Chain A
Amino acid sequence: MIDRHAEAQELLAGYALQSLSGEDAAEADRILAEHVPGCSECRQMVDAFQAVAGELALEAEPIPPPDPLLPRIHREMEPRGRSGGRWTSGRLVAAAASVVLVVGAGGLAITQLGDRKTPQVPAADVQELVDFAIHHKTQAQTLGGNAQEISARGVQELYVYGRGVPAPRPGFVYRLWAMSATGATHLRDFLPYPDGTVLVRLEVDPSTFDHLLVTMEPAGSEPLVPGEPAWPETG
């Protein structure tokens, strides 16, 4: 019988080093969402591995950065608390700001206010979403189930973000498709984090499809054609 903890921790070691890809990366995401929150041993291991990943940076020889870098940063530092500024999507920013980053020892976990014991969305992913909103003129499309597609014209990157997204039926996952006149393209499967947060980043050009569709499918099934919309009332 496979030692579930050993299997999970082996993946978490690779996760801390950002060296997972494909199915392993998806499995690590699933473990972080489903197993780690309820397993103190694996939670400790996540924190420990993230700490090691932070310390490993010290192996690199320190190099003084170019002198103009700090003045460049100073020029871009907005006074704290100023509203507006470079944020291009107030709605998105409000959403991103509504989560509390709980990053410890490089620990990649966020959670809602008042619920600091539950590891959730990788903080680095949230930071990417915030950066995306900072640097691009974003637009939001409702996908249903409290989830939205966040994209920007001309940018080959988009996010699916939601809070309070209901969990799929046991044994099922949500499946994301790009729908166009030529058919459906499977993008990836995902599950909400235990608190209902969804944050999925996709490297895809939004101009290459008409809209996204989310379906609910049996976990592990072959993604051949879309099944029924997960949230038919709006999806």
Chain B
Amino acid sequence: MRDGDREDRDLHRRLASGDRGAFDELYRRYSGSAYGLAYRVTGQQILAQDVVHDAFMALWRAPEAYDPARGPFRTFFLALVHHRAVDLVRRESRLRARSERAANLEPLVGEDPAEAIAEESYLGVRRKEVREALVGLPPEQRQVLEMAYFDGKTQVQIAEELEIPLGTVKTRTFAAMRKLRAALEDAG
């Protein structure tokens, strides 16, 4: 287990006992990643804020949702953020509008895009590993993966958009996930 993961686990344990300082530290560590992900998926600042707000409130209200025995806090929490972001864009039927803006996300207002996130070094290392693993995928596999994950599209929608059989989307997705799993496990 990496040091950062161990620290996260301790912070979560403190949070579960009602320690607001631990909550604030987890917010400091993950709000940037969470907001970046939510913004990438929803394409709108207001929706991204709602996603991050709801995810952190869910963490505060039901910390037992995370079981440290089954993996790092990071993957649990960011998967939760992703779930909420995708759910939000689907529920509000904004997928089409969001997709139309996909190539040109709503400009960030009130923030300095150039402002660097002062994130933990372990998070930066992992981010680099994830990006390298993605770059290592065949382009057609990466395409379906990103359309599903970051555009919030279903496999049926992806098949229609790319004009390929649904089975091909499933096969490419499966292959991509297996390769990513292997690459990320190798990376640590």
Residues of A within 8 A of B (CB): 9-11, 13-14, 16-22, 24, 47-66, 69-70, 72-74, 76-81, 100-107, 116, 123-124, 126-128, 130-131, 134, 203
Residues of A within 8 A of B126 (CB): 55, 58
Evaluate contact between A49 and B181: CB separation under 8 angstroms. yes
Evaluate contact between B76 and A24: CB separation under 8 angstroms. no
Q: Give B74's nearest chain A residue, CB to CB.
A: A54
- Besides A53-B75, A65-B52, A73-B56, 11 more A-B contacts (Cβ < 8 Å) are A47-B71, A50-B71, A52-B184, A53-B79, A55-B130, A58-B33, A58-B78, A59-B134, A62-B127, A105-B75, A126-B65
- Of the candidates B113, B150, B155, which one forms a contact with A60 in the assembled complex, judged by CB atoms under 8 Å apart? B150
**A14-B52 contact, Cβ under 8 Å, with A52-B181, A64-B111:** no
Evaluate contact between A17 and B45: CB separation under 8 angstroms. no
Evaluate contact between B177 and A102: CB separation under 8 angstroms. no
B contact face: mostly helix, strand, loop, or mixed: helix
Evaluate contact between B58 and A61: CB separation under 8 angstroms. no
**With A and B bound together, what is the CA distance between A128 and B74 in angstroms?**
20
B69 within 8 A of A: yes
Evaluate contact between A9 and B174: CB separation under 8 angstroms. yes
B139 within 8 A of A: no
A-facing residues in B138-188 (Cβ within 8 Å): 145, 148-150, 152-158, 170-171, 173-174, 176-178, 180-181, 184
Evaluate contact between A73 and B150: CB separation under 8 angstroms. no
Residues of A within 8 A of B157 (CB): 21
**A18-B86 contact, Cβ under 8 Å, with A63-B108, A66-B45:** yes
3 closest Cβ contacts across the A-B interface? A104-B70, A54-B75, A105-B71
Evaluate contact between B83 and A104: CB separation under 8 angstroms. no
